[in-house]
Structure 1
Amino acid sequence: MNANKFRCLILILAHIVASYNLTIAQCWEKNFAFAPGEKVSYNVYYNWGIIWLDAGIAEFKVDEIKHQNRDAYKLQSLGVSHKKYDWIYRVRDKYESIVDKESLRPMWYLRQTEEGKYRVRNEFNFDNTNNKIYIQTENSNRSNSLDTLDLQDCTFDLLSTIYYSRNIDYNQYKKNDKIPLTIIIDNEIHNLHIRYLGKEVLKTKDKKKYNCIKFKPMLVEGTMFRGGEHMTVWVSDDANKIPILIEAKVLVGSVKAYLAHYEGLNGGLTSRIK
């Protein structure tokens, strides 16, 4: 390799490392997008062929608490199928996450889900001092087990990922850029990404229009969702960045979640087009 080619290679590597370090440095960001008292709910529809069903609801809320003598946010999410459709596929999903108020760094996480006949209970305690995650997992196929994983920097649980992604400055990215995310699911750490798809005016089911930021999060295949980039999310292009519409392919058919109600937003929903 001649000197010019070597210098070019070094410059390329330096650029890659600098870009990566820029992303990592920003992974613990100050929260500007949400505030205690925020509540957001969605109507969830299921599609199979020509059939559309008003299948259930999903709710998210934010509270302010003290955890381990630190100011923290308690994030909670509940997903429930309507009882009249439970015979098709019963869903009772509950997620809770406690994150540091200053950095949004996860501190504790609980998942209790029932999807069809499959049950899961996960509890994670994040030891940010010793860089460990203490894990208790149990599901329909495996009895209660304990595990400890090394805590990599910028690792989120499923729920804290949603709120972290609302604080990303998407204006610094170009269309099709990948924003890396490290997420712990069950007792495994996955290196995933969000693919930024640009900005778009979205017209919703109720004929309302919003200026939106559009992206595709990479998923891990589970009991409901397909793995890969099979979900598309439109979030409000304003200070809140709340999801307006979510579309996802599931193992059989697809689902859509439309914004139904919101209150306690940190700022006005200025993305709404009058």
Structure 2
Amino acid sequence: MQRLVSLILLTLITLQIKAQCNDINTAFIAGELVKYHAYYNWGFIWINAGEVSFSVDAARVNNQPGYHLKAHGATYKSYDFLFKVRDTFETKVDTLHLEPFEFKRITNEGSYKANYLYHFDHDKRLIKASIQKEKAPKRDTTLQWKDCSFDLLTMVYKARNIDYSKYKVNEKIPISMVVDGEIHDIYIRYLGKETIKNRDGRRFKCLKFSPLLVEGTIFKSGEDMTVWVTDDANRIPIIVEAKILIGSVKAVFVDAINTRHPVTAEITK
């Protein structure tokens, strides 16, 4: 079960950012915490192998009110002997339009370790990236900051503020994000609405998507991932399923506290 947090980040970026990158945040507030269980498919068995959490804290960013966004994923200690994962993503953004200022990623997966640091220069419209991977020299690079291109974690939170109702079933929605020191243009296919049942028996009205993936260390290329998010004002991801090079993985919603809006997508009767 590799790239535990990356799975969720890459698949939960579910809307067109390019057309609405300056939308005002109305989906979440400081203090929100969302938790997931991470499952790995081994033959016919789904194993609950780890946990992932997403949190929002108030912060001062560039001398103005901001958010400190954080995602952390880890395998349970009982599974560490098979493959130990401790991944952390952090970014600092302003509160109004969620413009990023700094992004950090610390990856510890088995014997592999890597650190990523991006600084977003708002005046010069540059992204200064510093990447240190296991058994490789440190790489420093500077990218032209394309309009409406963001780091993975910022994209997840910005995507929660887009109006889904404007898209048609099977419509391809372009997105742009900075991954591994490069800017990638991909798309999401909107698949419509669906009511799903969580592993704990709770039911949610959801919106469904499938992203186009770039082939890499863990993922196959193509539309081999599916994500469901709540069909309400919060747009909280509920289930993410993905085929990987060996087997498949799934992230399943557990709980959310201090949401900005009531979770009206949950069916309680």
Is 2:32 the partner of 1:73?
no
Is 2:166 the partner of 1:172?
yes
Flag the structure with more relative contact order, 1 or 2, with Cα contacts below 8 A and sequence separation at least 6: 2
Is 2:250 the partner of 1:250?
no
SS at match of 1:160: helix
Deviations 1:16-36 (A, max 9, x none): xxxxxx963412211111110
Is 2:58 the partner of 1:35?
no
Output the CA distance in 1 between the equivalents of 2:65 and 2:159. 20
Structure with higher helix content: 1
Q: Is the 8 A contact 1:115 1:223 kept in 2?
A: no
Output the CA distance in 1 between the equivalents of 2:187 and 2:99. 18
Offset of residue 218 of structure 1: 2.7
Deviations 1:60-81 (A, max 9, x none): 0001111111221111000001
Is 2:50 the partner of 1:56?
yes
Offset of residue 46 of structure 1: 0.5
Deviations 1:110-164 (A, max 9, x none): 0001223322210000012111001110111422221111100011111111111
Q: Is the 8 A contact 2:18 2:176 kept in 1?
A: no
The 5 A counterparts of 1:228-247 are 228-247=222-241
Matching residue of 1:18: none
Offset of residue 169 of structure 1: 0.8
RMSD of aligned C-alpha atoms?
1.5
Of residues 247, 260, 269, the one that matches 1:266 is: 260
Structure label with greater radius of gyration: 1
Q: Is the 8 A contact 1:115 1:224 kept in 2?
A: no
**CA pair 160-250 structure 1, distance change in 2 beyond 3 A:** same
Of residues 125, 131, 136, the one that matches 1:131 is: 125
Of residues 194, 198, 202, the one that matches 1:204 is: 198
Deviations 1:195-233 (A, max 9, x none): 111111111111111100111223333433333322211
Of residues 20, 24, 29, the one that matches 2:18 is: 24
Offset of residue 52 of structure 1: 1.9
Is 2:115 the partner of 1:121?
yes
Is 2:76 the partner of 1:82?
yes
Output the CA distance in 2 between the equivalents of 1:25 and 1:255. 31
Output the CA distance in 2 between the equivalents of 1:30 and 1:192. 24
Offset of residue 165 of structure 1: 1.3
Runs of 4+ in 1 over 6 A off after TM superposition: none
Offset of residue 37 of structure 1: 0.2
Output the CA distance in 1 between the equivalents of 2:127 and 2:164. 29
Deviations 1:78-107 (A, max 9, x none): 000111212222211000011221111221
Output the CA distance in 2 between the equivalents of 1:88 and 1:36. 36
Q: Which amino acid aligns with 1:106?
A: P
Matching residue of 2:207: 213
Q: Is the 8 A contact 2:177 2:185 kept in 1?
A: yes
Matching residue of 1:227: 221
SS at match of 1:225: coil
Output the CA distance in 1 between the equivalents of 2:176 and 2:56. 22
Query: Structure 2: where are the runs of 5+ without partners?
Result: 1-15
The 5 A counterparts of 1:135-150 are 135-150=129-144
Query: Structure 1: where are the runs of 5+ without partners?
Result: 1-21
Identity across the alignment (%): 45
Matching residue of 2:154: 160
**CA pair 273-126 structure 1, distance change in 2 beyond 3 A:** same
Output the CA distance in 2 between the equivalents of 1:114 and 1:232. 26
SS at match of 2:155: helix
Q: Is the 8 A contact 2:18 2:175 kept in 1?
A: no
**CA pair 84-212 structure 1, distance change in 2 beyond 3 A:** same
